[in-house]
Amino acid sequence: QVQLVQSGSELKKSGASVKVSCKASGYTFTTYGINWVRHAPGQGLEWMGWINTNIGNPTYAQGFTGRFVFSLDTSVSTTYLQISSLKPEDTAVYYCARGTAFDYWGQGTLVTVSS
Amino acid sequence: SYELTQPPSVSVSPGQTARITCSADALPKQYAYWYQQKPGQAPVLVIYKDTERPSGIPERFSGSSSGTTVTLTISGVQAEDEADYYCQSADSSGPYHVFGTGTRVTVL
């Protein structure tokens, strides 16, 4: 069965970096792109962008350029979200989701940034 | 930028019908998708390509489309349907996705 399994919760200080992983299984990894979605406390879902798992090309949504980087390792069917220069307002649950339909989602990774 | 507008909340009694609209601010509209999210859980796809229902999703969930507005209908609402619902679509000018503002469905 299709699964996206994300890495565990992170507690970071302002200015630090964090790398969240999303490991896919149950399908051919390069057939579907992977999206990243942010869910900040009390807010709605926000699309951050996606990475083409076939050629590794990332696309970033407005507001998620510069400090946010998507990458992947096809040998282990895993995509990564790295956030640098963390700010308290980056505190959120980050999800990965498969393809145009977002038909499968990871369980979410809580990133907490303290000042 | 492309925006999708939903009502903040919908309240419905058990057994009644809940309708959630999602309005796009521009034409043409791409396919819409709907997600159910319960507290502390990841979203779940309940409708894709405007009207299609994934396997395992109850038949009481249906989708429709008219002009630049899509609607999620929950017929015969049950207590377990209480959740936040989000629409999602893509900007036709590029490979950019956007989520609607979200609607909280409360079962009275």
B45 at A interface, C-beta within 8 A:
yes
Amino acid (1-letter code) at residue A68? F
d(C-alpha B105, C-alpha B88), whole Å: 17
Average pLDDT over residues A15-28: 98
How high is the pLDDT of residue B24? 86
- Note whether B99 contacts A62, CB cutoff 8 Å: no
State the pairing for strand pair B18-24/B69-74: antiparallel
How high is the pLDDT of residue B70? 94
What's the sign of the alpha-carbon dihedral A94, A82, A4, B4?
positive
User: Phi and psi for B18 in degrees, rounded to 5?
Assistant: -105, 135
Chain B residues inside the 8 Å CB shell of A103: 45, 48, 54
Nearest neighbour of B97 by CB, restricted to A35, A44, A103: A35
Average pLDDT value for chain A: 97
Check: CB of residue B47 under 8 Å from CB of residue B61: yes
State the pairing for strand pair A109-114/A10-13: parallel
Check: CB of residue A20 under 8 Å from CB of residue A94: yes
How high is the pLDDT of residue B96? 86
- What would the pLDDT profile of A42-73 be if each residue is shown by its tens digit? 999 999 999 999 999 999 998 999 999 999 99
Walk along chain B (108 residues) in steps of 10 and give the mean pLDDT of each run.
Answer: 90 97 79 96 97 97 93 97 96 81 97
- What would the pLDDT profile of A91-109 be if each residue is shown by its tens digit? 999 999 999 999 999 999 9
Nearest neighbour of A44 by CB, restricted to B44, B49, B102: B102
Question: In chain B, positions 47-106, which contact chain A (CB-CB < 8 Å)?
Answer: 48-49, 54, 86, 88, 90, 95-102
Strand order in the sheet with A78-83: A3-6, A18-25, A78-83, A68-73
d(C-alpha A100, C-alpha B95), whole Å: 9
Cis peptide before B58 (omega within 30 of 0): no
How high is the pLDDT of residue A40? 97
